[in-house]
Amino acid sequence: METVYLETTIISYLASEPSRDLIVAGHQQITHEWWARRRALFACSISQEVVDEISRGDPAQVARRLAIAQALPKLPVGPVVSELAAEFLRAGILPQHAASDAVHLAVAAVANTDYVLTWNCRHIANAQLLKQLDRVCARSGYRLPAVCTPEELLGGNANV
What's the mean pLDDT in 68-76?
95
Check whether 157 has a pLDDT greater than 90.
Answer: no
pLDDT at 155: 79
Residue 106's domain comprises: 2-148
The enclosing domain of 102 has a CATH number of 3.40.50.1010
> Within 95-143, where are the H helices?
99-110, 127-139
Class of residue 93 by CB neighbours under 10 A (exposed 0-12, middle 13-18, buried 19+)? buried
In a domain, 62, yes or no: yes
**Tally of domains in the chain:** 1
Check whether 156 has a pLDDT greater than 90.
Answer: no
pLDDT at 158: 46
In a domain, 20, yes or no: yes
In a domain, 17, yes or no: yes
Q: Is the dihedral of CA 114, 116, 117, 122 positive or negative?
A: negative
In a domain, 155, yes or no: no
Check whether 149 has a pLDDT greater than 60.
Answer: yes
Check whether 21 has a pLDDT greater than 50.
Answer: yes
Check whether 159 has a pLDDT greater than 80.
Answer: no
Rounded distance between C-alpha atoms, residue 36 and residue 95, angstroms: 34
Rounded to two decimals, the pTM is 0.93
In a domain, 154, yes or no: no
pLDDT, tens only, 91-148? 999 999 999 999 999 999 999 999 999 999 898 999 989 999 999 999 999 999 999 9
pLDDT, tens only, 91-100? 999 999 999 9
